[in-house]
């Protein structure tokens, strides 16, 4: 895209008409003004035909400010409008609107009694037609801005719709919660299994005929504690694992994308001297 | 019978008293309030410069204008936009950043389309740099 043009960036040229006022001819007729604007209009037409509507606008703009010519301001407004329409660029359309407003300022002033009667840049009969042209330009510019804003809003909405599933899949709270519960359940089951093992070892010791007295009581106490751990750990762990896996399954089903793999997985694992559940995944 | 000399002295004393009673702060405040009025042009204080709203230059002013060194005008519009016309011709669209302006009495009009924001007589001292603000209604 070419350089952005904002209304502030393309204000009236510093070589304004008042600078020229000191050297400007005392009398200007509509015919002379038409002749003065013709070369720049031809150059701008060539630029526009070559696809550089914004360049045409800037050329017309500079000359318009130099000659205080509302016709050239309107031509510049039109060129900026065309540039904005082609690039869907609101600041260019707004720059054109400002040029149309300047044209309106000058045209209205030309009807004021304090306007310099020697400085007739346009014929008085043309003023009402040019005012209508400027107002029409403002109307169609407002429409174009609404049109571009609607396009931008639709584009933004589509982008946010595309973002939504990604967020859902990336950080589904159900999957995370389920994974945490499953991990706690696995830990509970581990404690239960450990309790069973402790109970078994101490049971064997108690049944040993050489063990009696205080030592017997000690092994019996440890065995009871192990059994308690097994009684609590195994059911609690089982419930937590069941709930956790259910949550993960629901979460994955809701936020799943066809091309994505599951976020977390719980599977049984058996190895030498070890048996249980393994939780794998990424969060 | 009261002597005329005594009357004159009394009148003079009362006048001086009134001038002293009006504090500079109140004067500035009154000027600021007038400045905020829609259609008025606020001019930063500068010796020899003045703004007379609603006044037009005389034929004599037009003849005298521009005899001395030109001044420079900076003009901004608060809360809106507008174009500036000096002595019957378009001078630029606000903000004006150092536009040359003839010394002497100049007719200045600021307008936004059909709305005249400010209209009056701006006196520019030789080589003076003037800073003005117009409030858009």
Task: Give backbone dihedrals phi and psi of B71, rounded to 5 degrees, phi first.
Answer: -95, -175
Q: List, in order, residues 6 or more apart from A275 with CB less than 8 Å away.
A: A269
> A157 or A126, which is more confident?
A126
The answer for A 81-110 residues in CB contact with B (under 8 A) is 98, 101-102, 104-106, 108-109
* Strand partners for B111: B83, B116
B44 DSSP 8-state letter? -
Segment holding A275, helix H or strand E: strand A274-281
- Give the pair of three-digit tokens for residue B50: 């003045």
Q: Write the pLDDT tens digit of every residue in B89-120.
A: 999 999 999 999 999 999 999 999 999 999 99
Is A105–B113 a contact, with Cβ atoms under 8 angstroms apart?
Answer: yes
How many whole angstroms separate alpha carbon A3 and alpha carbon A87?
Answer: 11
B93 chain-A contacts, CB cut-off 8 A: 11-12, 98, 102, 105
A12 chain-B contacts, CB cut-off 8 A: 92-93
Closest CB to A12 among B70, B92, B111? B92
- Give the pair of three-digit tokens for residue B29: 């405040």
Q: Give how far A112 is from chain B: nearest CA, Å.
A: 9
Q: Is A35 helix (H, G, I), strand (E, B) or coil?
A: helix
- Give the pair of three-digit tokens for residue A209: 């005929």
A159 DSSP 8-state letter? H
Q: Write the pLDDT tens digit of every residue in A160-183.
A: 666 555 554 445 788 888 888 899
Task: Name the E strands within chain B.
Answer: 41-43, 50-53, 71-78, 83-86, 89-93, 96-101, 104-112, 115-124, 129-135
For the cut 80, the answer to whether the pLDDT of residue A15 exceeds it is no
pLDDT band at A9 (very low <50, low <70, confident <90, very high): very low
Segment holding A279, helix H or strand E: strand A274-281
Closest CB to B92 among A16, A101, A109? A16
pLDDT band at A13 (very low <50, low <70, confident <90, very high): very low
Q: List, in order, residues 6 or more apart from A214 with CB less than 8 Å away.
A: none
Residue A205, pLDDT score: 83
Q: Nearest-CA neighbor of B133 among B58, B63, B32?
A: B32
Residue A253, pLDDT score: 79
Nearest chain A alpha carbon to B65:
A22
Residue A57, pLDDT score: 94
On average, the pLDDT of chain A sits at: 81
Q: What is the DSSP string of A100-151?
A: HHHHHHHHHHHTSTTS-TTB-SS-GGGHHHHHHHHHHHHHHHHHHHHHHHHH
Residue A126, pLDDT score: 95
| CB of B101 closer than 8 Å to CB of A18 | yes
Residue A155, pLDDT score: 79
| CB of A30 closer than 8 Å to CB of A122 | yes
Among the residue ranges A31-40, A70-79, B66-75, the one predicted with the least confidence is: B66-75
Segment holding A271, helix H or strand E: strand A264-271
> B82 or A255, which is more confident?
B82
Residue A70, pLDDT score: 96
The answer for A 40-79 residues in CB contact with B (under 8 A) is 65, 68
Q: What is the average pLDDT across A224-246? A: 89
Closest CB to B86 among A11, A18, A24? A18
The backbone region for B98, taken as left when phi is positive above 0, alpha when psi lies in -120 to 50, beta otherwise, is: left
A21 chain-B contacts, CB cut-off 8 A: 86-87, 89, 91
Residue A24, pLDDT score: 59
Q: What is the average pLDDT across B55-77? A: 85
Residue B21, pLDDT score: 45
How many whole angstroms separate alpha carbon A106 and alpha carbon A101?
Answer: 9
Is A114–B90 a contact, with Cβ atoms under 8 angstroms apart?
Answer: no
Is A17–B113 a contact, with Cβ atoms under 8 angstroms apart?
Answer: no
Among the residue ranges A226-230, B111-115, B123-127, the one predicted with the least confidence is: A226-230
pLDDT band at A56 (very low <50, low <70, confident <90, very high): very high
How many whole angstroms separate alpha carbon A157 and alpha carbon A154?
Answer: 5
Q: Give how far B24 is from chain A: nearest CA, Å.
A: 37
Q: Give how far B47 is from chain A: nearest CA, Å.
A: 24
Calculate what percentage of chain A has a pLDDT beyond 90.
43
Q: What is the average pLDDT across A205-227? A: 84
Q: Write the pLDDT tens digit of every residue in A80-115.
A: 999 999 999 999 999 999 999 999 999 999 999 999
- Hey, how many other C-beta atoms are within 10 angstroms of the C-beta on A142? 12
| CB of A69 closer than 8 Å to CB of A63 | yes
- Give the pair of three-digit tokens for residue A200: 């078994």
> B75 or B137, which is more confident?
B75
Q: List, in order, residues 6 or more apart from A158 with CB less than 8 Å away.
A: none
Largest CA distance in chain A: 134
How many whole angstroms separate alpha carbon A190 and alpha carbon A163?
Answer: 41
For the cut 70, the answer to whether the pLDDT of residue A278 exceeds it is no
Closest CB to A116 among B82, B89, B97? B89
Is B90–A101 a contact, with Cβ atoms under 8 angstroms apart?
Answer: no
Is A18–B89 a contact, with Cβ atoms under 8 angstroms apart?
Answer: yes
Total residues found in chain A within this entry: 283
Q: What is the average pLDDT across A49-73? A: 93
Q: Write the pLDDT tens digit of every residue in B28-37.
A: 454 455 566 6
Residue A252, pLDDT score: 84
Residue A27, pLDDT score: 85
Task: Give backbone dihedrals phi and psi of A23, rounded to 5 degrees, phi first.
Answer: -110, -5
Closest CB to A17 among B90, B101, B107? B90
A102 chain-B contacts, CB cut-off 8 A: 83, 93
Residue A178, pLDDT score: 86
> A4 or A216, which is more confident?
A216
Nearest chain B alpha carbon to A118:
B88
Residue A4, pLDDT score: 43
pLDDT band at A55 (very low <50, low <70, confident <90, very high): very high
Is A115–B85 a contact, with Cβ atoms under 8 angstroms apart?
Answer: yes
């Amino acid at each position: 895209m070419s350089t952005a043009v904002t209304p502030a960036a393309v204000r009236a040229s510093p070589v304004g008409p008042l600078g020229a006022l000191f050297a400007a001819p005392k009398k200007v007729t509509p015919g002379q003004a038409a002749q003065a604007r013709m070369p720049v209009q031809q150059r701008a037409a060539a630029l526009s035909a070559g696809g550089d509507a914004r360049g045409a606008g800037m050329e017309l703009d500079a000359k318009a400010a130099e000659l205080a010519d509302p016709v050239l301001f309107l031509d510049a407004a039109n060129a900026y409008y065309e540039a904005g329409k082609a690039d869907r660029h609101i600041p260019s359309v707004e720059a054109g609107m400002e040029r149309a407003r300047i044209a309106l300022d000058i045209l209205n002033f030309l009807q004021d009694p304090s306007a310099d009667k020697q400085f007739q840049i346009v014929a008085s009969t043309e003023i009402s037609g040019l005012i209508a042209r400027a107002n029409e330009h403002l109307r169609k510019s407002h429409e174009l801005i609404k049109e571009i804003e609607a396009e931008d809003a639709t584009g933004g909405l589509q982008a946010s719709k595309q973002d939504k599933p990604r967020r859902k899949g990336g950080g589904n709270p159900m999957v995370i919660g389920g994974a945490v519960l499953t991990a706690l359940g696995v830990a509970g089951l581990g404690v239960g299994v450990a309790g069973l093992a402790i109970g078994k070892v101490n049971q064997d010791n108690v049944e040993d005929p050489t063990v009696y007295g205080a030592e017997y009581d000690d092994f019996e106490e440890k065995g009871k504690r192990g059994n308690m751990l097994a009684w609590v750990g195994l059911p609690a762990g089982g419930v937590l694992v069941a709930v956790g896996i259910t949550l993960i399954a629901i979460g994955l089903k809701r936020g799943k994308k066809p091309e994505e793999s599951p976020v977390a997985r719980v599977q049984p694992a058996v190895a030498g001297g070890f048996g249980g559940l393994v939780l794998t995944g990424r969060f | 019978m009261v002597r005329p000399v005594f009357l004159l002295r009394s009148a003079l004393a009362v006048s001086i008293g009134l001038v002293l009673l009006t504090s500079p702060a109140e004067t500035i405040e009154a000027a600021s309030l007038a400045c905020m009025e829609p259609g008025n042009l606020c001019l930063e204080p500068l010796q020899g410069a003045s703004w007379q709203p609603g006044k037009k230059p005389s034929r004599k002013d037009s003849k005298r204008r521009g005899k001395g060194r030109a001044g420079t005008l900076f003009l901004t519009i608060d809360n809106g936009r507008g174009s500036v016309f000096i002595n019957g011709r378009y001078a630029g669209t606000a903000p004006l950043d150092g536009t040359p302006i003839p010394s002497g009495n100049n007719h200045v009009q600021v307008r936004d389309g059909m709305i005249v924001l400010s209209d009056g007589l701006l006196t520019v001292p030789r080589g003076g740099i003037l800073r003005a603000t117009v409030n858009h209604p």
